[in-house]
Structure 1
Amino acid sequence: MTGFLWRWLFAFGLLAATYNPTEFNYARWVMDHGGANLSIAVLVGLLLSVGYIIYLRATLRSIGPFGMLLVLALVGAILWVLYDLGIVSLANPGFNTWLGLLALSVVLGIGLSWSHVRRYLSGQADMDDVDE
């Protein structure tokens, strides 16, 4: 469980560092100061891209596009229930953005952790395809 938590937190951090409703994110920083700091903007953009490539490739390989949609639908249904029960209000656009980041980070966290979950449940390890 600790491994999943770390993978999910890193996915959330990656998404929030790229964009969030506050002024402290990569997209806003590049719009405001990227021209004056082009080399730093490119470096940070490449580092974020590497993080996305790692997460997206692992997620697509482990649960696939259908699994990603299924996890996102499950998170959406949970949010819908919370809304119907009056626990979550969707009146604040900033809060809605954070909910979207949370939902996407759950998809990426599950995608990166799915091989570990499958191995735990089935006792079988996954192997990467080797072309030889």
Structure 2
Amino acid sequence: MGFLTRWFFAFALLALTFNPTQYNYINWARDYGAMNLSIAVLLALILMVGYIIYLRATLRSIGAGGMVLVLAIVGALIWVLYDLGVLQLDNSSFQVWLGVFALSFVLGIGLSWSHVRRALSGQSDVDDVDE
């Protein structure tokens, strides 16, 4: 499983939770969740499992400081693209998609960092195991 796969699943997790279209969990739960409470709770728990997996792996591999640094790099890249006229930020839906992309990139890097580090340094990360 490569970086693109990890990033895609992070993007899907975030986009399924919220995006600027009407097809996301937040809008669905707000509009229909009360009528389908059991389904709303089940979907919320499934999304929560995805977030726990991604956030725990990201915090263990790059930490909160690394997350801020990756997000800052993505933000700076967006700023450069805006200054060069490549991006137009006058569309609020596009801005939300950029936010989903940026956050999913952070989570994708976090889940992939151990693999990158092993390839660059030859050292493997080992989690602490309590016995």
Q: Decide: shared fold, TM above 0.5.
A: yes
Indicate the residue corresponding to 1:17 in structure 2: 16
Matched, 1:68 2:61: no
Runs (5+) with no aligned partner, structure 2:
none
Letter in 1 for 2:31: D
Counterpart secondary structure, 2:2: helix
Give runs of ≥4 in structure 1 deviating > 2 Å.
none
Determine helix, strand or coil for the equivalent of 1:126.
Answer: coil
What is the root-mean-square deviation in Å for CA atoms of aligned residues? 0.7
Tell me, which stretches of 5 or more residues in structure 1 are unaligned? none
- Show the counterpart of 1:114: 113
Letter in 2 for 1:44: L
* 1:43, distance to aligned residue in structure 2 (A): 0.3
Q: Which secondary structure does the structure 2 equivalent of 1:130 belong to?
A: coil
Indicate the residue corresponding to 1:98 in structure 2: 97
Q: Which amino acid aligns with 1:22?
A: T
Taking structure 1 as the reference length, the TM-score comes to: 0.98
- 2:34 is aligned with 1:35: yes
The one-letter amino acid paired with 1:68 is M
Structure 1: distance between partners of 2:53 and 2:28: 24
Show CA shifts across 1:2-34 (max 9, x none): 610000000000000000000000000001100
What does residue 7 of structure 2 align with? 8
Structure 2 counterpart of 1:34, which letter?
A: G
Letter in 2 for 1:131: D
Cα distance, 1:131 vs. partner? 2.4
- 1:130 Cα offset (Å): 1.7
SS at match of 2:35: coil
Number of equivalenced pairs: 131
TM-score (normalizing by structure 2): 0.98
